[in-house]
Structure formats: C-alpha cells, structure tokens
Amino acid sequence: MACFVVPGAEAVVVTAAYFVAKKREQKLELLKLDNTARYETAEPRITWSKRLGWLLALLWGGVLLLAFEHFWHGEVVPFPPFLTAMSSPEDTAEMLAEMGSVGVSMAVTVTAVWGLICAVAEAKVRKLRTALKKNAA
Amino acid sequence: MTLLITVIAAIAATVVWYANENRDTYRLGTLSLIYWGASLMWLMDFVFEYAELKAEYFNQEFADILNDSLLGVAVVALGLVAWLIILLIKDPKGVFKKKFAK
C-alpha cells in the first residue's frame, strides 16, 4: 500500500547525514592542504560520505522502483492524496499497519545489508593497510 | 516475478561492475545498488506475503504472472533510466563540459 514510505523517510535522513559528512570531509581536506607535514602519512580508508553514498543508492533506488510498482498497481496516484489508501479511514489504518510491519522490515533489512557491505569493505581496507605497512617496514 | 527479474538485473549489474575496469567512471556500482535496494525491499514484501498465503502464493493465474513480468521489465528499464540520468548529470568524462566550452 505505502510500505516504501518508511525507507523513503530513512533515505531523507541519510541524505542529510551524507551532506554533513561530505562537508566535514571537505573541511578536513582543506586542513590537510594547510598542514601537509602533519597529515603526510595518509592511509587508505573508506570515508563516511562513501559509506553513506552506498546506503543512499540502496535506499533511493529501492524507493524509486517500489514507488513505480505502487503506481503500476494504482496504489499511488499523481494527485492528492497521492496514496489511494488514504481515501477511507479503514484503508488508512491498514496502510499504517503495513508500513509498521513491511515498511520497517524493508528499512531494517536494507540498513543491515549496508552494514554488512561496510564491514566487508572495512576488513578489506584493513588488510590492505597491513600489507602496505609490511612493505614500508 | 518482479522480484526474480530485479534480482537477475542486480546480479547482471554486479557482474558488469566487477568485470569492468571503468566501474567508477560509469558509476556501475550505483546501478547495481539501485537494483539490490529494490530486490531487498521486494524480498521483505515476499516474506510477509508468503507468511500469510504459504504455498498458495505460488499458485498464480497466468495473467498475474504476465502482469508481474511486465512490471519487472518496466522496473529494470526505470532503474537504467535513473542510472543514465545520474551518469549524465555527473558527466564523469566531461562530455558536456567539452561540448559547451567550444
């Protein structure tokens, strides 16, 4: 009915977090340029903006395709109230229940898989760092 | 069928991402993440529907299967369009920059 709204709300919050992280990293980059001696030993690492970028692609991609699916089934319309389930109180209650079960599960699953991707990527980068340190020694 | 077609598209996009040297230039990671995101969401939808209908879930009418398949193909096309728009906006090869700088 409108389960994609829950990951959609998460996507909005993550988008804001992504821009905050990106701004912080840009500030840090400027600091590095000002003080090259202090930051000379740069190691390979995955930035938070990169990690959040993966989550954004997962969430917005899923939300876009699911919104299209709901449009296909006539559950989303291009005019107010946009969700056909909002036309009657019974349907609205059913829609909210579905958002609470299916929608929340979707958001949790996508976030959990993203966490797994980050953990694997971090392990790979850590391995690379160790190899680089061994080569340098 | 929609879930199945999207998962196949996600696997294909991931294989292309892995095999292609220009994966970052063409933002192939974004394309595969778009399909994986939708696949995971539909997987949860399937889990809830299966829990409710059990084996009855797989006994669908041919018309429903056809409709779901068409939706799957349309979804794959929409994912490609979204990826293409991102690619053209980011313009990693600077094609538009070169074109308008002339």
pLDDT at A90 over 70: yes
The reply to whether residue B37 touches residue A60, judged by beta carbons under 8 angstroms, is yes
In the 8-state DSSP scheme, what is residue A80?
T
As a whole-number percent, the residues of chain A with pLDDT over 70 amount to 94
The reply to whether residue B38 touches residue A7, judged by beta carbons under 8 angstroms, is no
Structure confidence by residue, pLDDT tens digits, B24-77 = 899 999 999 999 999 999 999 999 999 999 888 888 899 999 999 999 999 999
User: How many angstroms separate the CA atoms of B83 and B91, rounded?
Assistant: 12
pLDDT at B17 over 90: yes
Spans of all domains in chain A: 5-136
CA nearest neighbour of B29 among B92, B95, B98: B92
Report the chain A residue with the minimal C-alpha distance to residue B46.
Answer: A102
State which amino acid sits at residue B92.
P
Q: What is the pLDDT of residue A29?
A: 81
At A80, the pLDDT band (50, 70, 90 cuts) reads confident
Which residues of A make CB contacts under 8 Å with B? 3-4, 7, 54, 57-66, 68-69, 72, 101-102, 105-106, 109-110, 113
- H helices present in B1-102, as ranges: 2-19, 28-53, 62-90, 95-101
Taking all residues of chain A, what is their mean pLDDT, rounded to a whole number? 90
pLDDT at A39 over 60: no
At A41, the pLDDT band (50, 70, 90 cuts) reads low
A60: chain B residues, CB-CB within 8 Å: 34, 37
The reply to whether residue B36 touches residue A58, judged by beta carbons under 8 angstroms, is yes
